[in-house]
């Protein structure tokens, strides 16, 4: 009996000693030494991120300590490989998976969010597919090709309860934020006129000459086209940087949204008009359009007449002062006493998206609305499309701001949407 008791005590003591030995757990797994524990990381996939802008935004994502990049999708094999090599070098392994079809990437249940930086033609469709697959989305602008798609994107984001950030990063760049704050808080007096910089408007309806299509594994032309009408392959569209720009089938709004998605968006914000639209737009000379809000504030879109403070310029004028700024980060204003309220710049200019990406990632964790959420993007994009259609049709368009339609102009209303090629209907 005693012997059995002694044996029992030895067994218990042995087990206690075993469990008392400290097990080695890597610091990274616990989030020590500045690392983020795996349970706190946001897993991300990239769609069409091999271009100039996409590569830059990807580098910003990779620079965030709580991001784990898992996969990349591109219809071009050279870009799939180059992005994989970049991600693998950052992660110190060979684990980044590659996909030709975005649907295969979106089917992965271990991916929380996607970065979309494919061409204009794909932005809304890819984003809608992503939110339907349960992913949060950071999407470069323009986020849609039409008024109808801008609305559908917002509807889907809200229906599926996802976090969406449009790539209009100037909402998180401090010189622009400062200018908007002066307007929103009445420091310029009663607002009179808002100015939004746009580029030279253009639109081509021709096709480039047909060339032999590469093998699908090298370049999937059908997937490159996606929801657009079928067109014969030409390498310039897909292999020349920006080669698709200017073509009606591939670019949103005659190029107006290249800058307008940023600058009109900032004017909307400055006028506290994120949930509404101007009541009309009309052409006012070469590459110039004028609109007006219900509160009487005028909105002018133009590509000349600026102080030369960099790309994507904006200017806000009130009864007691004005402010103008651009991508240089320099702010011109009157009266100069307003300058004392400007905070130190945390971004070098409007091109940087570091704060914008951080805003998105924070909102992925908290489920809050990011600065350029889908509701904000919906209205600013629709405002841009309304201005574009006024330019294209060469006449004033009156806008039903609640219905997001044109009053008494059925031709303009038909242009609120475009045909979408199967199987990419929404």
Task: Supply the pLDDT for residue 12.
Answer: 42
pTM of the model: 0.91
Residue 179: which residues within 8 A CB-CB, separation 6 or more?
A: 266, 270, 314, 316, 323, 324, 325, 331, 333
Mean pLDDT across the stretch 175-195? Answer: 97
Q: What is the pLDDT of residue 350?
A: 79
Helix (H, G, I), strand (E, B) or coil at 190: coil
Compute the average pLDDT of residues 391-413: 98
Q: Which two tokens stand for residue 204?
A: 């081509």
Please give the Cα distance from 64 to 347 (Å, whole number). Answer: 16
Average pLDDT over every residue of 2-19: 44
Q: What is the mean pLDDT of residues 91-107?
A: 97
Confidence at 27, pLDDT banded by 50, 70, 90: very low
Domain boundaries, the chain: 29-169, 170-202+253-414
CA separation for the pair 140, 350 (Å, rounded): 14
> pLDDT grade, residue 38 (50/70/90)?
confident
C-alpha–C-alpha distance, residues 217 and 78, integer Å: 10
Whether the predicted pLDDT of 4 surpasses 70: no
Per-residue pLDDT at 2: 38
Which of 258, 352, 363 lies closest to 59 in space, CA to CA?
A: 352
CA distance 293 to 268: 10
**Quick one: 29-169 is in which CATH superfamily?**
NAD(P)-binding Rossmann-like Domain (3.40.50.720)
* H or E stretch at 193: strand 191-197
Report the CATH architecture of 170-202+253-414.
Answer: 2-Layer Sandwich (3.30)
Check residue 37 and give its pLDDT. Answer: 80
For residue 247, pLDDT beyond 50: yes
Digit-coded pLDDT (tens) for 52-61:
999 999 999 9
Instruction: Report CA dihedral (28, 34, 39, 45) to the nearest 10 degrees.
Output: -100
Continuous H helices in 271-409: 354-366, 374-393
Q: How far from chain centre, in Å, is Cα 64?
A: 17
């Amino acid at each position: 009996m005693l012997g059995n008791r002694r044996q029992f005590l030895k067994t218990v003591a042995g087990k206690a000693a075993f469990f008392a030995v400290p097990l080695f757990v890597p610091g990274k797994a616990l989030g020590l030494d500045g690392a983020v524990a795996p349970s706190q990381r946001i897993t991300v996939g990239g769609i069409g991120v091999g271009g100039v802008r996409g590569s830059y935004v990807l580098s910003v994502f990779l620079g965030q300590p709580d991001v784990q990049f898992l996969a990349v999708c591109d219809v071009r094999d050279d870009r799939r490989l180059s992005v994989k090599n970049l991600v693998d070098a950052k992660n110190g392994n060979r684990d980044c998976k590659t996909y030709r079809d975005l649907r295969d990437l979106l089917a992965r249940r271990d991916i929380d969010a996607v970065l979309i930086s494919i061409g204009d033609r794909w932005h809304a469709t890819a984003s809608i597919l992503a939110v339907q697959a349960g992913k949060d989305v950071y999407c470069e602008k323009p986020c849609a090709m039409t008024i109808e798609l801008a609305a559908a994107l917002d509807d889907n984001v809200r229906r599926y309860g996802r976090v969406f950030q449009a790539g209009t990063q100037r909402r998180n760049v401090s010189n622009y934020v400062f200018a908007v704050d002066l307007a929103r808080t009445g420091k310029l007096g009663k607002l009179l006129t808002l100015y939004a910089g746009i580029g030279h408007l253009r639109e081509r309806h021709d096709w480039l000459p047909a060339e032999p299509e590469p093998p699908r594994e090298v370049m999937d032309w059908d997937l490159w086209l996606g929801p657009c009408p079928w067109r014969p392959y030409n390498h310039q569209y897909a292999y020349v940087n920006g080669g698709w720009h200017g073509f009606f089938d591939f670019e949103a709004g005659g190029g107006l949204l290249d800058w307008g998605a940023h600058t009109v968006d900032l004017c909307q914000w400055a006028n506290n008009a994120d949930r509404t639209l101007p009541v009309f737009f009309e052409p006012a000379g070469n590459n110039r359009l004028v609109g007006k809000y219900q509160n009487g504030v005028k909105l002018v879109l133009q590509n000349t007449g600026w102080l030369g403070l960099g790309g994507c310029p904006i200017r806000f004028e009130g009864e007691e002062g004005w402010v103008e700024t651009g991508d240089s980060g320099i702010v011109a204003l009157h009266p100069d006493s307003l300058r004392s309220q400007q905070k130190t710049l945390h971004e070098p200019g409007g091109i940087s998206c570091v704060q914008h990406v951080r805003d998105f990632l924070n909102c992925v964790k908290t489920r809050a609305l990011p600065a350029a959420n889908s509701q904000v993007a919906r209205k600013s994009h629709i405002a841009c499309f309304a201005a574009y259609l006024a330019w294209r049709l060469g006449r004033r368009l009156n806008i039903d701001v609640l219905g997001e339609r044109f009053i008494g102009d059925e031709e303009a209303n038909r242009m609120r949407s475009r045909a979408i090629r199967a199987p990419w209907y929404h």
